[in-house]
Amino acid sequence: MFQKGEYIVYGQHGICLVEDITHLNMSEADEKKLYYVLVPVGTRGSRIYYPADRENRNARYLLTKEEALCLLEEFPTIEKIQIGIEKLREDTYKKALYSGNQKIWASLLKTLYERKQDRLKTGKRIASVDERYQKMVEEALCGELAFVLGKTKQELKEMLISQIPCAIV
């Protein structure tokens, strides 16, 4: 069970502060259940009410500083995601993003950066689906790494890009 005052990652809401753990007095809520009151980092006035008994389904602890540093060190050797059938590209991206796994996110980010590079080299435009998922995975991965390491998202993005030969962002 998460504790009041901890930072966690909650689904696509990203990093959230566990502001409280309480019973809710709302018509939609089961008054017998405990709920986490989550405050997304960087979103003013927003609150998410998340049943405490579903802790492991959409929420997880942040990476530790050591895990974040290890992931950064490992980034150059992380393999790209292999897309078997081009029509399933977006489904592959979506599964990778929603996995919540930072190593898979790193693989997706590397895949998207290299695909962008390859398309630009051949004079092709960058696919809108690639751009959309690149922004989402940068927000998720760079956001978490930046928070844990006390850096900006831009600094983390630049660190990752510098580890990809000839990357175009």
Q: Is residue 168 part of a domain?
A: no
Q: Is residue 169 pLDDT above 60, yes or no?
A: no
| Largest separation between any pair of C-alpha atoms in the chain | 60
Q: Which of 15, 32, 61 is the last residue of a domain?
A: 61
pLDDT of 3 strictly over 80: yes
Closest-CA residue to 47 (of 26, 19, 77, 23): 19
Residue 16 has pLDDT above 90, yes or no: yes
Residues of the domain holding 14: 7-61
Domain-embedded: residue 29: yes
pLDDT at 167 over 60: no
